Amino acid sequence: MKADDSRFFSFLKERIGLDVTSVGEAIIERALRQRATAAHCPDSDAYWHLLVSSPQEQQALIEAVIVPETWFFRYPESFVTLGMLARERIASLAGVRPLRILSLPCSTGEEPYSIAMALFDAGVDARHFKVDAIDISPVSIAKAEHGIYGKNSFRGSDTGFRERYFNPVADGFEIADSVRACVSFQAGNLLDPKLASQVAYDIVFCRNLVIYFDRQTQQHVFKVLKQLTREDGLLFIGPAEGNLLASIGMRSIGIAQSFVFRHAPIEPTAPAPAWTPAPVAAPVAPRPAPDAPARAPAPRPVARTSAAFPPIVKPVAVTGNSEVSALLDRIAGLANEGKSAEARAACERYLQQHEPVAQVFYWLGLLSEVEGSVAQAQGFYRKALYLQPQHSESLAQLAALLAAQGDSAGARRLQDRAARGANKQGNH
């Protein structure tokens, strides 16, 4: 079947906000052919009539288009920051109510379970927090509730959390009941108007979603996320998704490599929010509370030597040059604050004045992604990998793009390459 008109694309945009150009028409057409064949529809018209009349088929098409790409403790610096700030927030609540956290889209559960594990590692008792997890895919929700994960969900060399919070089973590793009990899963759509009317959360995680939306949908989604985040709350986003937040009145809280935003004050003289995290230069692993159960400490991604998650803004090759390091720091700061145009200009200035390094091409890739230039982003990631074949962030981002475009074999090769690099680093 050939999807020879735009009605299917319009349906996907209306239902899930998908910008077809972000994944490519060929990917959508392949999913349409698969579903039409499964439903025994001889042509596109027959499949369209089935689609508009069958909620079950609508969901089946959405499932065919969505390609979950997630793993435990993705962007680990964010989880170290979460543990630190959650303890501050819980102290300010003084037992009045538990900390409310939202993860969406939660996919197959790796992110919300990581949130719970990070809080346990930070010494937070289960009574003091609650995680709600939402995804548009009932299939993904069912997998999350099942709670059994294969090796692809555990990446990098720092997998000590697997020993603490999982039990080995025949099909992989099963999440511990203590973690499972902290997370409530439900199917839901971020574009559903009812979602924005929910009681706002202290902390919201929504990462690597808007790159699949057009600009108008991105703006709408971020407004919804702002409504879902309390005035004194925090919003965790992906590393290249901050460019729209300043325009809707949110700003970075200034913790490097964590991609955390909050509501900006309406005016300089306005009273400070009840909970205002103090800016710090970089996250450090929080110490467990004295009365917490004995556990291994939280992951220390900033200090560890794993190739899976090296420090983002200070590549080893240039740390001896203070001018170069300062410029790389500035690029990272601009990108983290959502100042995309300035960050891109700083990258180009760097390449004009200094020898090229992988980290600059990585930032250019991220900036291209958020602008919707997927092909350009792939080119920049490949340049980064030419300069530094084991550049883990570029491997992860390029693998995610390939997976979203249906190139599962290419994505798997990059994931295996990253895993081999992490294992080599861990053995040294």
CATH number reported for the structural domain that contains residue 127 in this entry: 3.40.50.150
Residues 50 and 81 both lie in one domain: no
pLDDT exceeds cutoff 90 at 173: yes
**100 and 61 inside one domain:** no
The position carrying tokens 């997927």 is 374
Confirm whether 129 is domain-assigned: yes
**Do 225 and 83 have their domain in common?**
yes
Q: What is the pLDDT of residues 51-100, one digit of tens each?
A: 999 999 999 998 888 777 789 998 888 999 999 999 999 999 998 999 99
User: Could you identify the residue written with the tokens 């300010």?
Assistant: 92
| Local confidence band at 335 (pLDDT 50, 70, 90 cut-offs) | confident
Pick from 388, 113, 393: nearest CA to 257: 393
Mark whether 249 and 324 lie in a shared domain: no
Number of domains in the chain: 3
| Phi, psi (degrees; rounded to nearest 5) at 165 | -125, 10
Residues 230 and 327 in one domain: no
Report in angstroms the alpha-carbon separations of 331 from 15, 77, 256, 337, 426: 36, 18, 12, 10, 29
pLDDT tens by residue, 355-391? 888 899 998 988 887 776 878 888 999 989 988 888 8
Identify whether 269 is part of a domain. no
8 A C-beta contact, residue 256 and residue 279? no
* CATH classification at residue 339: 1.25.40.10
Query: SS3 of 258, please?
Result: coil
Same domain? For 90 and 27 the reply is: no
* In-domain check, residue 2: no
pLDDT at 150 over 60: yes
Question: Which pLDDT tens digit goes with each residue over 245-304?
Answer: 767 778 888 776 778 888 877 554 445 455 555 444 444 444 343 333 333 333 333 333
Does residue 285 belong to any structural domain of this protein? Answer: no
User: How far is residue 334's CA from residue 382's CA, in Å, rounded to a whole number?
Assistant: 23
The verdict on residue 174 lying in a domain is: yes
Residue 115 sits in which domain range? Answer: 76-263
Kindly state whether residue 414 falls inside one of the protein's structural domains. yes
What is the pLDDT at residue 316?
A: 35
- Are 18 and 165 within one domain? no
Four-residue CA torsion sign, 134, 135, 138, 140: negative
User: For residue 264, which phi and psi values (nearest 5 degrees)?
Assistant: -80, 145
Give 174's pLDDT tier (boundaries 50, 70, 90): very high
Q: Is residue 292 part of a domain?
A: no
* Nearest-angstrom CA–CA distance, 17 and 216: 10
Same structural domain, 167 and 48: no
Last residue of a domain, one of 16, 43, 65: 65
116 and 48 in a common domain? no
Rg of the chain taking only CA atoms, in angstroms: 21
- Between helices 392-404 and 374-387, what is the axis angle to 10°? 150
> Is residue 217 domain-shared with residue 345, that is, in the same domain?
no
What distance separates the 2 farthest-apart alpha carbons in the chain? Answer: 66
- Please report, for the chain, how many H helices and E strands are present, in that order: 18, 10
Q: Are 280 and 268 in contact (CB under 8 A)?
A: no
Out of 263, 296, 324, a domain closes at: 263
| pLDDT tier for residue 426 given thresholds of 50, 70 and 90 | low
- Domain boundary among the residues 15, 32, 65 is at 65
Is residue 340 within 8 Å of residue 370, measured between CB atoms?
A: yes
On whether residue 151 sits in a domain, the answer given is yes
Confidence check: pLDDT of 314 > 90: no
- Decide which of 86 and 25 is more confident: 86
Residues 342 and 417 in one domain: yes
pLDDT at 339: 78
Measured distance CA(234)–CA(103) in Å, rounded: 12
Pair 347, 409 in one domain: yes
Whether 212 contacts 22, CB under 8 Å = yes
